[in-house]
A and B are shown apart, each in its own frame.
Chain A
Amino acid sequence: MSLTQKGRWITVVALVCLAAVYVRALAFTPVERLQGPAQKIFYLHVPAAIWTETAMILVGLAGIFYLFLKDPRLDRFAEASAEVGTVFATIVLTTGPIWGKPIWGTWWTWDARLTSTLLLFFLYVGYLLVRGAVRDPVLRARYAAVLGICGMCLVPFIHMSVFLFRTLHPQPIILKPSAPSLPSSMLVTWLFSLAAFTLLYVGFVTQRYALSLVRDAHGGARPGHV
């Protein structure tokens, strides 16, 4: 089985798992009393946010190792992770305002968490634009690695922003030193969703990595765009 086929199968399994998460979250998880049904956006928003940040950390780590080892596999992985991270960041930045409107009364506010997450999204887009703009593969990989390392440095600030500044965005209820402040039925749904998003990340990155392999085999030209 080729790498592309493996990626496709993982993606299919992940999408089926996500469909099961939809059923569990919408039909079998209790409604939170204060926020109402809109609180269920939490089951998509938070796992997507975790993988948005993790994907950028992995892009940065791959960049650091690339600068030392010059291994093209690291550059390919960073490219794949950045593209998938951009998709997850898009989910975070669309579900967040949809959740914020009924709870905060506004779609958007320029607080530290929201603004730094938007900056991360722009870094992702900038990363992909740089990769598309530089033709020399060695220079492209080097510029991208530096940009990826900058993005990685932003991630701890995003996570800590709700502690460092007064923000409208709430503090973490799961990723915190003490135990999660969630009933077990909600926590199980959230963990199930996190597992589905993890599978999605792996499936997408595997396919995107395989695409880069094909592109490199064609001498840098993208398949179908010779």
Chain B
Amino acid sequence: MGLAPAMSDVPQNAGYMVAAYVVTAVILVVYAVSLYRRTNTP
């Protein structure tokens, strides 16, 4: 086995990572669109 960690030792939590990246993108895009709409209002 040696000292090198096997892949199974790495926690399998990619779902949390994907959730955080999606949430961040949604927040930023929604705010960018909100600014665009407000600055476009005559």
Contact = CB atoms under 8 A, between A and B. Distances in A.
Interface residues of A, number: 38
Nearest to B17: A37
A94 interface: yes
B24 A214 contact: no
Given A15-B32, A35-B11, A90-B27, A214 B39 contact: yes
A90 B20 CA distance: 12
Query: Which applies to chain A's interface (DSSP): helix, strand, loop or mixed?
Result: helix
A99 interface: yes
A7 B32 CA distance: 10
Contact of A87 (B11, B12, B25, B27): B27
Contact of B39 (A31, A40, A211): A211
Contacts of A31: 10
A94 B27 contact: yes
Interface in A10-65: 11, 15, 18, 22, 26, 31, 33-38, 40-41, 44-45, 48
Nearest to A203: B32
B35 interface: yes
Contacts, number: 94
A50 to B, nearest CB: 14
Given A22-B21, A98-B19, A33 B5 contact: yes
A167 interface: no
A90 B24 CA distance: 9
Given A214-B39, A223-B41, A95 B20 contact: yes
Contacts of A18: 25, 28
A204 B31 contact: yes
Interface in B1-42: 5, 9-14, 16-17, 19-21, 23-25, 27-29, 31-32, 35-36, 38-39, 41-42
A37 B13 contact: yes
B11 A38 contact: yes
Contacts of B38: 211, 223-224
Contacts of A146: none
20 contacts: A8-B36, A18-B25, A37-B12, A37-B14, A38-B14, A41-B17, A44-B24, A45-B20, A87-B27, A87-B28, A91-B23, A94-B20, A94-B23, A98-B19, A99-B20, A101-B16, A204-B31, A210-B39, A223-B38, A223-B41
